[in-house]
Structure 1
Amino acid sequence: MPKVLISDKMDPKAAQIFRERGVEVDEITGKTPEELMAMIGDYDGLAIRSSTKVTKAILEHATNLKVIGRAGIGVDNVDIPAASAKGVVVMNTPFGNSITTAEHAIALMFALARQLPEADASTQAGKWEKNRFMGVELTSKTLGLIGAGNIGSIVADRARGLKMKVIAFDPFLTPERAIEMGVEKVELDQLLARADFITLHTPLTEQTRNILSREALAKTKKGVRIINCARGGLIDEAALKDALDSGQVAGAALDVFVEEPAKASPLFGTPGFVSTPHLGASTSEAQVNVAIQVAEQMADFLVNGGVTNALNMPSLSAEEAPRLKPYMALAEKLGSLVGQLAHGALDQISIETEGAAAELNQKPIVGAVLAGLMRVHSDTVNMVNAPFLARERGLDIREIRHEREGVYHTLLRVTVRTQAGDRSVAGTLFGNEAPRLVELFGIKVEADLDGDMLYVVNEDAPGFIGRIGTTLGESGVNIGTFHLGRRDAGGEAVLLLSVDEAVTPDLIARVRALPGVKTVMALKF
């Protein structure tokens, strides 16, 4: 039974879902990093919120960990490269608090437009400063979205309902999607010059850090109002303070800060500034939603192999997983075969699918090929870290999909480029479930790839099969299966034998000494 640790306070429904899905769960919160290191080795999964910091040091102690689930969007508290290198899937729940965060952005927009926090404080202080708080309407104003993903699209929908004109800057926003959202796609400088309100909905990356820099703020329409419920660091806070003081920015509302908890900020006390303590996801509905979603996603992965909302692995639904499972087994065996047989440095790998295989999600198949290929060099490689390790080594990975159906109703071909030339293997599924090799380096040969095997390249000549059978018999080695193929009569032949015990160096030497033998190797699957 898989075992999961919930290390941050989470709605009880998460633990309930784990248990219902056949996953053992412990709820142990508030542990120090040292305490977490001491216990993490016992768990297959780790469910967290924002408090637990999953560092490289903690991951080094996570000997059994397979998945980390973040109940929420941000994964700043997870070392994703270290998790990928360790072969641990990292998931988040990007949709569980989307509506809540979008609504908070709209609430802050209203708060700025009508100066609600200041008016409330003034009124409760016994003042009645009706003429002091002159607001602005949202109707007919232009809202500029920086980031038009899931949350940004919800904000756009709500803003359009308020009769606002919405423009959006997002490098990944297609013209078709912009039309569907009812927004105008613009460049950043256009947005800055035209927007009456700007709201940010983008992750924090090196490209988006300080996207509202001092220079960008100087380009904004005078009197603009800015809202950030996304990530601290998207705005230069010192520059925003100066822009508020000068009147270039009429108001700003931040739910997130560069340093959190934000106990001190140059923005605090500035007229026109509104702040909340990272409340974007803080509704009872959102807390329940993200807890349920992270538990369902992690349980699907641990029990069924489904991968949803992973940040370092292609998604694979629980429905897809059973259909893809035999293909992934075939892919891993072919990757392992070519990895064991190809000599010299590899600089390129091509993964081709044909027939039924071409209709499937290709990313898990590619990951499985790379895992099999690279397992020759590492016993900790898996589908998660194999692409990471391949990129790290500069391996050129090519995916080729053929819609045609050839001799086999489904076919997977793996070709590696080496200094000695291209090496290609191909396989299919028998009965849609049994992996079978059908071609090896251009030679037609049908073989199961399983357990300990002996690979022999020899000259096709009478008596060779008898001689190798005698040699194995004299060595006390029992043959399980025997697969033979050749290019043409009297030419080069290839032999794949499965044997009941590991192939020893002594056996390799005895087979190599037989007349006509060109190559002999031990294989293991």
Structure 2
Amino acid sequence: MPKVLISDSLSPRAVEIFKERGIEVDVKTGLKPDELKAIIGGYDGLAIRSSTKVTKDVLAVATNLRVVGRAGIGVDNVDVPAATARGVVVMNTPFGNSITTAEHAIAMMMALARDIPEANASTHAGKWEKNRFMGVELYGKTLGVIGCGNIGSIVADRALGLKMKVVAFDPFLSPERAQDLGVEKVELDELLRRADFITLHTPLTNETRAILNRDSLARTKKGVRIINCARGGLIVEEDLKAAIESGHVAGAALDVFAEEPAKQNGLFGMERVICTPHLGASTTEAQENVALQVAEQMADYLVSGAVVNALNMPSVSAEDAPRLRPYMKLAEQLGSFAGQITETGLKAVTVEFEGQVAELNTRPLTAVVLKGLLAPLMESVNMVNAPVIAREREIKVSETKRQDAGDYQTLIRVIVSTEARTRTLAGTLFGGDKPRLVEIEDVPIEAEVTPNMLFIRNEDKPGFIGKLGTALGDAGVNIATFHLGRTAAGETAIALVCVDQPLGDDLVERIRALPSVVRAKALTF
């Protein structure tokens, strides 16, 4: 039975979901780092919000951990590279609080346009400063959206409903998507030049860090108002303060800050600056949604292998997981076979999918091939970290799909290029769920993979099979099945022998010394 630790406050319904799915769950919030390290080794899953820090040190002792689920979007508190290196899936819930965050951005924009917080404080203080708070309309104004993904697109939709014009800067926004949203896609400089309001909805990356700084703020329209409900590091706060003090920027509404919790900040106390304590996702509905989503996602992964909203591996839907399962086994067998017979440096791997398998989500299958290929060559490889390891070692990975079936209704072919040569292996499914090898090094062959096998490449000459059988018999090794294939009479042949026990090195050396043997290798699966 999988076991999950909930280390931050989540809805009680999340606990119920885990238990309903047959998962044991413990709730222990407020753990100190050493306390978390002391117990994390006993859990398969860790469900968190923003308080728990999943550091490299924590992951190093999380020997059974398979998945970390973040109830929310940001994973700044998770060392994702370290998790990937250890084969731990990291999931978030990017859609559970999208509407809530978008609505908060619209609310902040309205409050900023009409000076609502200051007017509220003034009126509570017994003043009646009607002439002091002269706002601006949103109607007809241009909203610049930096980052038009899930949340940004919702903000754009709400702004269009307010009869604003919307321009968007997002390198990943296609012209067709922009047209569907009713926004105008522009470059950043044009957005800065045209926008009356600017709202940020982009992740914090090396490309977006400090995207609003002294230089970019100087290129904005005089009187612009800035809203940030995304990430504090997107704005250089000292530069924003200077732009407000100079009068170039009319005001700002900020829900996020470079350092949080923000108890002190140069922008605090300024007129025309609205600040809230990271409330973007703080609604009853959003908190419930992300808690339920993370529990469902983690349970799906631990129970069925489905992967949704993972940051470090391809997604596999609950519907795809059972369809992919037999192919996953086949893909791993092909990769493992190729890895065990590879003796020189890997340069490239191509995975070809033909027929029925080409209609499926094949990215997880490629990851499993890489896992099988690399596992014989190094330790602690799995489908999460295998693609990363391949990139680090500059192994070129590609995949191709062809839905037209060839000799088989469904086929996976693995082409491995090394410093010395290129070799191919191919496999299919018999009866829809039974993996079979059907090609090795361009030689047709039909074989089931078993725990202990002997792979031989030899010259096709009479008497070879008898000599091989004698060598195995003399060593007390029983043959379970024997599979042969060749390119043509008298040319290259391949023997794949399934045996009942592991083969010792001495026996393999004796087989290599037999006449006609080009290569012999003991394989284990």
For the criterion TM > 0.5, the same-fold answer is yes
Cross-structure match for 2:345 = 345
State the TM-score, normalizing by the size of structure 1.
0.99
- Could you tell me how far apart the structure 1 residues matched to 2:344 and 2:464 are? 29
Cross-structure match for 1:287 = 287
Give the aligned residue type for 2:364. P
- Could you tell me how far apart the structure 1 residues matched to 2:420 and 2:190 are? 54
Cα deviation for residue 506 of structure 1 reads 1.8
Cα deviation for residue 458 of structure 1 reads 1.9
Cross-structure match for 1:90 = 90
Cross-structure match for 2:30 = 30
Cα deviation for residue 465 of structure 1 reads 1.5
Give the aligned residue type for 1:406. G
- Could you tell me how far apart the structure 1 residues matched to 2:384 and 2:476 are? 40
- Could you tell me how far apart the structure 2 residues matched to 1:457 and 1:352 are? 24
Cross-structure match for 2:201 = 201
Cα deviation for residue 462 of structure 1 reads 2.2
Cα deviation for residue 405 of structure 1 reads 1.2
- Could you tell me how far apart the structure 1 residues matched to 2:395 and 2:330 are? 21
CA contact (8 A) 1:342 1:423 kept: no
Cross-structure match for 1:123 = 123
Q: Deviations over 1:208-266 (max 9, x none)?
A: 00101110100111111110000010001000000110111101010000000111111
What secondary structure sits across from 2:277 in the alignment? coil
Cross-structure match for 2:401 = 401
Cross-structure match for 2:231 = 231
CA contact (8 A) 1:145 1:201 kept: yes
Cross-structure match for 2:64 = 64
CA contact (8 A) 2:143 2:164 kept: yes
Equivalent runs, 1:509-524 vs 2, <5 Å: 509-524=509-524
CA contact (8 A) 1:122 1:128 kept: yes
Cross-structure match for 1:427 = 427
Q: Deviations over 1:447-479 (max 9, x none)?
A: 112201111122222222122112211211111
- Could you tell me how far apart the structure 2 residues matched to 1:453 and 1:439 are? 16
Equivalent runs, 1:135-154 vs 2, <5 Å: 135-154=135-154
Give the aligned residue type for 1:130. K
Cα deviation for residue 357 of structure 1 reads 1.5
CA contact (8 A) 1:244 1:270 kept: no
Which stretch of structure 1 is more off in the superposition, 45-54 or 504-513? 504-513
Give the aligned residue type for 2:483. H
What secondary structure sits across from 1:209 in the alignment? coil
Moved over 3 A (4+): none
CA contact (8 A) 2:339 2:377 kept: no
Q: Deviations over 1:397-450 (max 9, x none)?
A: 111112321011111111111122211111111111111111111111111122
Cross-structure match for 1:356 = 356
- Could you tell me how far apart the structure 2 residues matched to 1:102 and 1:127 are? 33
> Does structure 1 residue 167 correspond to structure 2 residue 167?
yes
> Does structure 1 residue 270 correspond to structure 2 residue 267?
no
CA contact (8 A) 1:244 1:271 kept: no
Cα deviation for residue 127 of structure 1 reads 0.9
Give the aligned residue type for 2:212. L
Cross-structure match for 1:330 = 330
Cross-structure match for 1:436 = 436
Number of paired residues?
525
Aligned-pair Cα RMSD in Å: 0.9
CA contact (8 A) 2:480 2:499 kept: yes
> Does structure 1 residue 14 correspond to structure 2 residue 14?
yes
What secondary structure sits across from 1:376 in the alignment? coil
Give the aligned residue type for 2:153. S
- Could you tell me how far apart the structure 2 residues matched to 1:170 and 1:461 are? 65
CA contact (8 A) 1:439 1:446 kept: yes
CA contact (8 A) 1:11 1:291 kept: yes
Cα deviation for residue 507 of structure 1 reads 1.2
Cross-structure match for 1:243 = 243
CA contact (8 A) 1:352 1:399 kept: yes
- Could you tell me how far apart the structure 2 residues matched to 1:176 and 1:108 are? 29
Gaps of 5+ in 1: none
Equivalent runs, 1:156-195 vs 2, <5 Å: 156-195=156-195
Cross-structure match for 2:215 = 215
CA contact (8 A) 1:450 1:498 kept: yes
Cross-structure match for 2:51 = 51
Q: Deviations over 1:363-395 (max 9, x none)?
A: 111001000001012342111110011111111
Cross-structure match for 2:110 = 110
Cross-structure match for 1:256 = 256
What secondary structure sits across from 1:210 in the alignment? coil
Cross-structure match for 1:498 = 498
- Could you tell me how far apart the structure 2 residues matched to 1:246 and 1:130 are? 25
Cα deviation for residue 517 of structure 1 reads 1.6
Q: Deviations over 1:258-307 (max 9, x none)?
A: 00011111111111100000000001110000000000000000001100
CA contact (8 A) 2:413 2:427 kept: yes
Cα deviation for residue 488 of structure 1 reads 1.3
State the TM-score, normalizing by the size of structure 2.
0.99
